Structure 1
Amino acid sequence: MKEVLEDNGNIIINLPVDFNIKANLGYLERNKNECMFEVENEMITRVIVIGETQTLVKIYVNEQNQMIVTFLKNSRPQKRLELEEVVKYIREWFDLDRDLTPFYTMAKADPLLLRPVNEFFGLRLIGVPDLFEALCWGVLGQQINLAFAYTLKSQFVEKFGDSIEWNGKNYWIFPTYEKIAKLTPVDLADIKMTLKKSEYIIGIAQLMARGELSKDKLMKMENLKETEKSLIKIRGIGPWTANYVLMRCLRYPSAYPIDDVGLHNAIKHLTKSEQKPSKEVLLKLALRWEGWQAYATFYLWRVLY
């Protein structure tokens, strides 16, 4: 493990030189209804689950641009392998192992991306490492605004998830697919999502419980197109949700949610256009951003809030 364990049990993660914690915290703080972590005084507190082990961590960045991970409530794993998995989760969450130099070179020469990358330089495409959580978040967010999506997620997590209590606050753990697979839509009736969304989420959980769907299986597929087709075969997963998951969980930098309303609104805002961009325009932009469509989309989203 590249990281160093301090005498007091903290983990130090050396960050890329172009990582800016303020830019990333700005994204993480975009909605006050976020239930999976808390940001306070430039510190992030959240639960990271490694197998059967639940760890409650506080994360901050020091003046040397190092990420310090402190374990709360005596939740520091005793096994070296579990500590390494915590680090792996955090590195994946913040996409720390990706060299963004080619993206920034491209973006600074692109008239549409120049303002977002200057304004939010150092922002990483913050991910959702858990496949079930990413798929649920994608389904919950279909055809509704972001604020309502966060409300639905909070209701879902607080009804079916576990939590760790610390200093009078609950830090929530996303419900497991094993638990959701045993439910019926009636069990989700008091959450303000549509019946179809309830059915989709339970169906996804059942696929995972049967071993037919897993992150490992998707990661072993040959390319983005094959993986996208596999995701779209799942009931309730269309091209938008598939590309959302490809971006934020499976980490394909070429994933491109071309039908995303937020992407369209950001382009309208930056170009001062009354019309949403045409499919032709969006495809031309994809060619301009070849290999970095996911990051381009993420930075454009960031302009809106």
Structure 2
Amino acid sequence: MDRIIEWDEQNQELRLLVPEEFSFDENLKYLSRSSNECLFKIKDERIYKALPIEKETLVIEVSGENGDYITVRFLGIPSPPQSVRNAVALYIHEWFDLGRDLGPFYDLAKLDPLLGKAVTSFYGLRNMGIPDLFEALCWGILGQQINLTYAYTLKRRLVESFGRHVVYEGDAYWVFPNPENIAKLTVADLDGLRMTVKKCEFLIGVAQFMTEGKLTKEQLLYTENVKAAEKILVNIRGIGPWTANYVLMRCLRFPSAFPIDDVGLHNAIKLLLGTEKKPSKEEILKLSAKWSGWESYATFYLWRFLY
């Protein structure tokens, strides 16, 4: 990590070098897709976000005016110690998936009838991640069988009811609830979120599972196998193949994770093919045969045609 980050002492800035196939603007467009996002704010093409680091909650500003690197500024605090800078750099590196060489993906995509237009339209887009496993699992559960707009509404209710926030220059910056806070709740405590009883039970159950140490990000990464990791997740109540693959794709960064039953994926393929009917699973398997090892990025790029 040291070779790709630098600290500008004079300007109090952290700089992370970015790969060749990277566009801050394309990633910013993706992050701007919902005006109801509650975990960061975007102002003047800069991202503002609260991060819990070493028992403190920092507010950072992330920008990309220089195409060679991402710049991070720490707001409202003096020069942070090296350990804090390292933790923030690691978070940004993972959030933007900066360690991924997209060259091979672009090579195969340019020859693919579906992906060719996607990589041309969204060149430099990264699979923007959800580094925190509990947040990723909750987001997957919240999004089950509802549209994206309402999923954002449910997330905001959950965060503002059970998360915490810090204030900087009059703005509140929220941090996602931790599993310990949700694990001790009852379904009745979640009534105000106005979601199904089942989803309430799933959220509490996942929180308890993680609080008890039965599920960790390290455990899933240790498998180094998308199918083995998927099997661990689907054995948890409320997590089916779609949610499991969504989490493996957005949080664990398994490049072969493939939420093949995703409605958005089906609609994107339908749009690009100009057909009246959504593709069948067999048709999707045929269309994706050459995506091996890049299913997660193929899915993410196709989603961008819709949202």
Does 2:139 align with 1:137?
yes
Aligned residue for 1:133, secondary structure, equals helix
Distance (whole Å) between structure 2 residues aligned to residue 219 and residue 114 of structure 1 = 31
List 4+ stretches of structure 1 deviating above 4 A.
none
* Cα deviation 1:150-199 (Å, max 9, x = unaligned): 00000000010111111211111000101111111111001021111011
Pick from 55, 64, 69 the counterpart of residue 66 of structure 1.
69
CA drift of 1:76 comes to: 5.6
**Partner in structure 1 of residue 50 of structure 2:** 47
Distance (whole Å) between structure 2 residues aligned to residue 156 and residue 57 of structure 1 = 23
Aligned residue for 1:220, secondary structure, equals helix
Aligned residue for 2:173, secondary structure, equals strand
CA drift of 1:96 comes to: 0.2
Distance (whole Å) between structure 1 residues aligned to residue 80 and residue 206 of structure 2 = 30
Distance (whole Å) between structure 2 residues aligned to residue 150 and residue 70 of structure 1 = 27
Aligned residue for 2:208, secondary structure, equals helix
CA drift of 1:281 comes to: 1.1
Distance (whole Å) between structure 1 residues aligned to residue 292 and residue 226 of structure 2 = 13
Distance (whole Å) between structure 2 residues aligned to residue 76 and residue 242 of structure 1 = 40
**Partner in structure 2 of residue 303 of structure 1:** 305
CA drift of 1:267 comes to: 0.4
CA drift of 1:43 comes to: 0.3
TM normalised by structure 2 equals: 0.97
Contact 1:38 1:44 (C-alpha < 8 Å) held by counterparts: yes
Distance (whole Å) between structure 2 residues aligned to residue 198 and residue 76 of structure 1 = 41
Aligned residue for 1:189, secondary structure, equals helix
Alignment of 1:222-261 (within 5 A): 222-261=224-263
**Partner in structure 2 of residue 95 of structure 1:** 97
**Partner in structure 1 of residue 220 of structure 2:** 218
CA drift of 1:75 comes to: 7.1
Distance (whole Å) between structure 2 residues aligned to residue 50 and residue 178 of structure 1 = 17
Contact 2:40 2:49 (C-alpha < 8 Å) held by counterparts: yes
Distance (whole Å) between structure 1 residues aligned to residue 79 and residue 113 of structure 2 = 47
Pick from 112, 117, 120 the counterpart of residue 118 of structure 1.
120
Give the residue type in structure 2 aligned to 1:238: G
Give the residue type in structure 2 aligned to 1:207: F
**Partner in structure 2 of residue 17 of structure 1:** 20
Give the residue type in structure 2 aligned to 1:47: A
Which of 2-11 and 93-102 deviates more? 2-11
Give the residue type in structure 2 aligned to 1:297: T
Aligned length: 304
Aligned residue for 2:302, secondary structure, equals helix
CA drift of 1:64 comes to: 4.2
Does 2:129 align with 1:127?
yes
TM normalised by structure 1 equals: 0.97
* Cα deviation 1:204-236 (Å, max 9, x = unaligned): 000111111111111111411000000000000
**Partner in structure 1 of residue 156 of structure 2:** 154
Give the residue type in structure 1 aligned to 2:49: R
Give the residue type in structure 2 aligned to 1:279: K
Aligned residue for 2:184, secondary structure, equals coil
The structure-2 alpha-carbon separation of the partners of 1:64 and 1:116, relative to structure 1 and needing over 3 Å to count, comes to: closer
CA drift of 1:286 comes to: 2.9
CA drift of 1:288 comes to: 1.4
* Cα deviation 1:215-274 (Å, max 9, x = unaligned): 111111141100000000000000000000000000001100010000000000111111
**Partner in structure 1 of residue 32 of structure 2:** 29
CA drift of 1:83 comes to: 1.6
Distance (whole Å) between structure 2 residues aligned to residue 41 and residue 118 of structure 1 = 25
Which of 27-36 and 2-11 deviates more? 2-11
Contact 1:33 1:150 (C-alpha < 8 Å) held by counterparts: yes
* Cα deviation 1:33-86 (Å, max 9, x = unaligned): 0001111111000012224232210010123431110001217642x2232111
Distance (whole Å) between structure 1 residues aligned to residue 232 and residue 79 of structure 2 = 37
Distance (whole Å) between structure 2 residues aligned to residue 105 and residue 140 of structure 1 = 35
Pick from 157, 160, 169 the counterpart of residue 167 of structure 1.
169
Aligned residue for 1:188, secondary structure, equals helix
Distance (whole Å) between structure 1 residues aligned to residue 140 and residue 40 of structure 2 = 18
Q: Which runs of 5+ in 2 are unaligned?
A: none
Distance (whole Å) between structure 1 residues aligned to residue 232 and residue 75 of structure 2 = 39
**Partner in structure 1 of residue 188 of structure 2:** 186
The structure-2 alpha-carbon separation of the partners of 1:188 and 1:40, relative to structure 1 and needing over 3 Å to count, comes to: same
Distance (whole Å) between structure 2 residues aligned to residue 94 and residue 50 of structure 1 = 18
**Partner in structure 1 of residue 85 of structure 2:** 83
Percent identity over paired residues: 53
Give the residue type in structure 1 aligned to 2:27: N
